[in-house]
Structure 1
């Protein structure tokens, strides 16, 4: 087995997501007509969205979860792939090679799957399959490339374990933190990077309280628009087609990204962003920002009933311990 101690930082990027849903009609309208992506229907139970020449960026499969169920990471080469595999197997965590059918659905080669935090399966692959079919989408293009296609944000009652997991598996680095108070609830958000993108993973926790106010495993996911015009036009389409807007357009304090948040048919949020800063590894130092936004990002249409619903979900989470992968998270890691 290959050595596990050589860093894979910079050789990994967010490549695809798998979403389980029974709301295919709504998702096609949301992804294609509102957000502006290309879509392909494989059969009655499988749909794919494209952002670029890769065959698949989002795989929607039929099922009851209404959530992201797997995160796919594009690994530069076989050597880095084998280092990650060796790390996971060395801790006794089960790995499963993806079947030819699973790899084909995702448009990838050499697929490996293993458990991740909050029950989200982590997938790694080496080579994406490129489609010769021209893109049919309302956006001019999306920013993907060597830094990946965006990021995923999760809420966690065990943030230190979650951070340690991504540090162990992908050599993720802490970019910065945000302290925010929303409706009297204090949040601390940690932003992790695996390459020059400001963050590929964000981990939010309620400070001092072991509760999770979000029903879904993923709180939101992000994709990056190529132009400000693309961002504005998709924002208008979300409104015009009647999809819920979670947060209006605003600018974040830490990565300076201009963005808005729409609510997907499955309930988690979808952030469309533009022009985030790029990390310079020679000069970057982590810091803590007060508040999520410089301006904007105001809640849209949230009622007292919605807030009460969130508190009920948070209370319910106390009875259901969060899934962690202790072997890859450092069994002694304190929660911070």
Structure 2
């Protein structure tokens, strides 16, 4: 049962903002390969739709080639005000989105505050919807109470990131995965803010303060309605010549069937089907050994790719990762 002031269940991942100069590649990737509805608004902005919301992914011109903001849909004004109070009471600045920003994101009003790894966190209570028909290659996507999917980040400060989402959204720990990748021992924490098994995954190399990923997120995830949607989009990604990071497989913890494609900006895009829905009355966090029951084998990774990861990890040793200490508490020591 939720405590009276808990936000759990009233927070849903509503949209993602991506900064890129590779609009043509992204248009082919999002519309033709993944199968999303695409709207090219101008030379500087493009949107992808999954459902009746005007925008689920906003692409804006810029050099970052990365995710720059996460938009969180809050169920009601009371919960919205509670989040704002938590952030402001800890001395963290909150700014209001401009009319242009809200229009591009397809929301009526938004507030923004700093998040870990330089990813702005944006909150809104009402999304603008449209009756315009969806032109996409998929049957549909699972959104609603679960939000649009999840994001995964790599970090040198896992306890602070978990503390951040606990402080701001009352996130709950779903479980852990321990995995060894290229000789490095990885621990992944999975956090949920609603019925979806996780809206944020936090991965860290155990015992070493390194981050081998250039981008702010390692991957983002969307959930298709039908198994055929996943398999057909997998085929389209391959046929159109986009890089496939991991083949089709099934995860150990949420049991989702999925694959991972590499986006034009370099982070990965997971297309999944049929993950479990958490039953709050019986769920207990546990630790799983290995990311996948089967599949999810790397595709096309070269020695250059591995060297690039080593170079990125070495760079991270010399550069302090952006955190928001005022919202992270002392961090949650969970291992």
Please state which band the TM-score falls in when normalised by the shorter chain.
Answer: over 0.9
1:177-202 Cα shifts (integer Å, max 9, x gaps):
00000111100000000001000000
Given that residues 161 and 335 in structure 1 are in contact (C-alpha distance below 8 angstroms), is that contact kept between their aligned partners in structure 2? no
Query: What residue is the counterpart of 2:226 in the other structure?
Result: 227
Two-structure CA RMSD over aligned residues (Å): 1.2
CA-to-partner distance for each residue in 1:81-106, whole Å, 9 max, x for gaps?
Answer: 00000000000000001111111100
Q: Mapping of 1:203-242 within 5 angstroms?
A: 203-242=202-241
Partner of 2:117: 118
Show structure 1 runs of 5+ residues with no match.
none
The residue aligned with 1:318 is 317
Quick check: 1:13–1:194 contact (8 Å CA) kept in 2? yes
Please name the residue that 2:43 is paired with.
Answer: 44
Asked if 1 retains the 8 angstrom alpha-carbon contact of 2:13 and 2:147, the reply is yes
Which residue in the other structure is 1:179 paired with? 178
The answer (yes or no) to whether the contact 1:159–1:335 under 8 Å persists in 2 is: no
Alignment of 1:154-303 (within 5 A): 154-303=153-302
- 5+ residue gaps, structure 2, are none
Pairwise CA distance, 1:156: 0.6
Partner of 2:130: 131
CA 280–262 in structure 1, closer or farther in 2 if over 3 Å, else same: same
Alignment-derived partner of residue 57 in structure 1: 56
Secondary structure at 2:322's aligned position in 1? coil
Q: In 1, are the aligned partners of 2:162 and 2:332 still within 8 Å (CA)?
A: no
TM-score (norm 1): 0.98
Q: Displacement, 1:14? A: 0.3
Give 1:334 shift.
5.0
Conservation of the 8 A alpha-carbon contact between 1:158 and 1:335: no
- Write out per-residue CA displacement over residues 56-79 of structure 1, whole angstroms, 9 at most, x where no aligned residue: 000000000000000000000111
Determine helix, strand or coil for the equivalent of 2:26.
helix
Is 1:91–2:90 an aligned residue pair? yes
User: In 1, Cα distance between the equivalents of 2:40 and 2:131?
Assistant: 16
* SS in structure 1 of the partner of residue 27 of structure 2: helix
Q: CA deviation at 1:44?
A: 0.5
Aligned residues: 333
| Cα distance in 2 between the residues matched to 1:266 and 1:160 | 27
Shift of residue 331, structure 1, vs aligned partner: 3.8
Q: Structure 1 CA distance, aligned partners of 2:76 and 2:20?
A: 32
